[in-house]
Structure formats: structure tokens, C-alpha cells
């Protein structure tokens, strides 16, 4: 039988996970809304050129 209390005492977060979280929170990720705004902006620029 697993002793959960003992297992929890042994648990340590992986440094790789913490580093990845920090990198993700610092970096601004592009989402679908950003892509749509950029596409509309480019379409308007092309339209004004013609």
C-alpha cells in the first residue's frame, strides 16, 4: 500500500518545470485574436494600396 504522507515528503518540483513556467509567463504568446487582428490590418493595407 502506498503511504501518501511519506511520498509527499519526498516530492520536489523539477527545476525544468519551474524554468519553463518562468519562461512562459515572461514571454508574450500570440493567440488567435492577435492573428486575426494582424490579418485584418494586412488586408486593409493591401486594399488601400489598390
Q: What is the DSSP string of 1-50?
A: ---HHHHHHH----HHHHHHHHHHHHS----HHHHHHHHHHHHHHHHHH-
Instruction: Give the global pTM.
Output: 0.42
In tens digits, the chain (50 residues) has pLDDT values of: 899 999 999 988 777 887 888 877 777 777 888 889 999 999 999 998 87
How many structural domains does the chain have?
1
Residue 18 lies in a domain: yes
Residue 1 lies in a domain: no
C-alpha to C-alpha distance for 38 and 16, rounded to whole angstroms: 33
Residue 3 lies in a domain: no
From residue 17, alpha-carbon distances to 14, 28, 29 in Å are 5, 18, 18
Residue span of the structural domain in which 17 resides? 13-49
Amino acid at each position: 500500500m502506498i503511504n501518501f504522507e511519506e511520498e509527499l515528503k519526498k516530492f520536489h518540483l523539477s527545476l525544468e518545470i519551474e524554468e519553463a513556467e518562468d519562461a512562459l509567463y515572461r514571454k508574450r504568446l500570440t493567440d488567435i485574436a492577435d492573428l486575426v487582428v494582424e490579418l485584418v490590418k494586412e488586408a486593409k493595407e493591401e486594399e488601400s494600396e489598390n
